[in-house]
Structure 1
Amino acid sequence: MSKRLKDRVAIVTGAGGGLGRVHALELARHGARVVVNDLSGSTQQVADEIRGTGGEAIACPGDVTRYEDMEAMAARAIGELGRIDILVNNAGILRDRTFAKMPLEDFRLVLDVHVMGAVNATKAVWARMQSQNHGRIVMTTSASGLYGNFGQSNYSAAKMALVGLMQTLALEGAKYDIRVNCLAPSAVTAMTDGLLPPEAAAVMTPDRVSPGLIALVGDDAPTRMILLAGGGSFECAHITMTRGIHIADQEDPAEALCSRMAEVQAQADQVIPISGWDQPKHELEKALAGVT
């Protein structure tokens, strides 16, 4: 086994079981010293499991929705392990129902755990990563956020929010060599029980996702990547912008747009914007040129 993460210190939230536990074990197998975070007492079991294989780990129970807990976790990681190189924002919950039947409390709770949980943990490590000019942060997104999923409006909204957070933090962290990416896993865990067909259990295992995590946290990691992983397969998702049309000179722009919507959607010559400013720049260029 390679030791590409030797001496690196990694924090994994929601690591008491499921995908988070496997992430923690895989990071340790590649040489990282791991801070195992979760709400439950199972953090100690996972830390002991890592130590049993010759790795180094500390159990750090805490609630990602409480910034004080995340700050205390980061301070403990620095105090006991000396630095923080990697943060894996993995903690999450499901509260699936159709939007019409979903209590607003369930919508807020899912956003709080997934989005604010990632914000709290990231805020706790950000300045520390800046000061050492090195950091690797992974947000756990989902195909449900990227493409939608019936009955998961709260989860989908949260997971897409993490993509936007990743995009901006990758830009802000670039000069400090803080690389920020998203991982969209497909795996059978307690959280996804009943959502995938029975035959998925044999192949859609968490251990077939975690190699993707390793690729996102090493010294040669990319940044601003949305990596999809499941069953040993890996793909990349992009937020793209089509070439589109320019219709400001039309007598009725709204009518012209409605009649030419297929051209707006056409994917030929689409681009991947570097930042949010690329949209107005693209539109200004077409407007000045009078491109139709």
Structure 2
Amino acid sequence: MSDPLDIKAVHTDVYSSIDPARFTHALAGKVALVTGAGRGIGRAIALAFAQADVKGIALLARSRGELEETAALCRKEKPGVEVCVCPADATKTKELDEAVDKAVKELGEIDILVNNAGANRLRPFHMTPPEEWWSILEVNLHGPAHLMSRVINPMRARNSGQYIINVSSRAAVMASRGFASSYTSSKTALTRMTACVQAELDGDGKDKVCCFSLHPGGPKTKMNYDLVEPDVDAAYPGMHDKVRKFVDIQEDTVELCAWTVVYMCSGRANKLRGRYFDVEQDIEAVVAAQEEVLAANKMDLKVDYAGGWSYLAVPTNQMKH
């Protein structure tokens, strides 16, 4: 029996709404492409897809060795699943194109794209070389946008249950804290792009192609432990230890994100397509409250103006919006 839905609950691991037993054949026949699939959250998503009975999985990351490990685990999880290993650098469009071409040739058209690969550095802006600042956006924004551009037209043509999940971050929607302006900017842009692409899909009657942005939680991944470099720690003494202690107290498992993604790709959250989700909130409780979400335009990027002011009060501004 499922637990009562609690929209205020904070989850750190798999819970009843995303119980794997509910999704045994939920993704049967689907072909998925997962970036950042060599370890951590990406690997967990690939394994969850195998358990949910996808037809095939394309795995994309820089390290072939890590991808081969993920592929072996997927085949062990579901003997017979087709797995395509696609080593590629998320900043190099030629390699991304080659990966997509290989995946489509070996598995068929992609039904699910999960843009999970990401990069971050906790550096103040004044200590960040311009090329390093931009490189974060290359991974977190340009890579996902390029892959979306490669799969969107075949998805639109089928319009029969295709999904794009862009792994975002709370950094995209929370008050600015500094020390990660490139990462924050990239994730905010990715979240906004997700909603914009969905608006285009809906406007063209392609509403069976669903895009979501998703905060993946705070698991103890290698990237999170390596955020502060020595020169930054020297300029801001104790920052390295402070960040490591913060990561140490995080309790979110990678499976929490993985099975939230499966839930999204199962069709249960389609009415909230284009929205931003947080894995720690009960997704089924959010779906149950979808009319409230849509009516109040929640789970979307926006500015709350002082005094309740709104430019939408002027009729001509309705069209500008």
- TM-score interval, normalised by the smaller of the two chains: 0.7 to 0.9
For each residue in 1:155-184, what CA deviation from the matched residue of structure 2 results, as whole angstroms up to 9, or x when unmatched? 000000001110111012232221111011
Structure 2 CA distance, aligned partners of 1:98 and 1:52?
A: 44
Shift of 1:76: 1.9
The match for 2:5 is none
Query: In structure 2, what residue type is equivalent to 1:227?
Result: F
Contact 1:142 1:184 in 2 (8 A): yes
1:37 aligned residue: 60
Establish whether residue 190 from structure 1 lines up as the match of residue 222 from structure 2: yes
Does residue 5 of the first structure (1) align with residue 5 of the second (2)?
no
Alignment partner of 1:219 out of 258, 262, 267: 267
Once residues 247 and 115 of structure 2 are traced to their aligned partners in structure 1, the CA distance between those partners, rounded to angstroms, is 27
Match of 2:253 among 187, 205, 210: 205
Counterpart CA distance in 2 for 1:69 and 1:172 is 28
Which has the higher Rg, Structure 1 or Structure 2? 1
1:248-267 pair list within 5 angstroms: 261=306, 263-264=307-308
Residue segments in structure 1 that go unaligned for 5+ positions in a row = 245-260, 266-278
SS in 2 for 1:166: helix
Question: Equivalents in 2 of 1:25, 1:67: separation in Å?
Answer: 26
Match of 1:76, as an amino acid? K
Distance, in Å, in 2 between the alignment partners of 1:195 and 1:23 is 26
> Structure 2: how far apart are the matches of 1:172 and 1:287?
20
Q: Distance in 1 between matches of 2:245 and 2:275?
A: 26
Matching residue's letter, 1:144: A
Return the alpha-carbon distance in structure 2 between the equivalents of residues 283 and 155 of structure 1. 34
Alignment of 1:70-89 (within 5 A): 70-89=96-115
Structure of higher RCO (CA pairs closer than 8 Å, 6+ residues apart): 2
Cα RMSD of the aligned pairs, angstroms, is 2.3
- The residue matched to 1:5 in structure 2 has which SS? coil
Aligned-residue sequence identity (percent) comes to 24
Q: Secondary structure at the match of 1:209?
A: helix
Q: Identify if the C-alpha distance between structure 1 residues 71 and 286 changes in structure 2 by more than 3 Å, giving closer, same or farther.
A: closer
Amino acid at match of 1:53: E
- 1:22-101 equivalences in 2 (<5 Å): 22-32=44-54, 33-41=56-64, 42-54=66-78, 55-101=81-127
Kept in 2: contact 1:43–1:59 (CA 8 A): yes
TM-score (norm 2): 0.72
Cα deviation per residue 1:120-161 (whole Å; 9 max; x = unaligned)? 111111122122224200111101121134311110000000
Aligned residue in 1 for 2:293: none
Separation in structure 2 between the aligned mates of residue 228 and residue 36 of structure 1, nearest angstrom: 24
Number of matched pairs? 253
CA displacement at 1:226 relative to structure 2: 0.7
Q: Name the residue aligned to 1:284.
A: 314
List runs of 5+ in structure 2 lacking aligned partners: 1-20, 226-243, 287-297
Please say if residues 70 and 124 of structure 1, whose CA atoms lie closer than 8 Å, have aligned partners that are also in contact.
no
Runs of at least 4 residues off by over 6 Å: none
What is the CA deviation profile of residues 44-101 of structure 1, one whole-angstrom value per residue up to 9, with x for unaligned ones?
1111110112233221111222222222222222211122100000111112211221
Quick one: which amino acid aligns to residue 135 of structure 2? Answer: L
Counterpart code for 1:74: V
Secondary structure in 2 matching 1:36: strand
Q: CA deviation at 1:192?
A: 1.2
8 A contact 2:215–2:278 mirrored in 1: yes
SS at 2:210's partner residue? Answer: strand
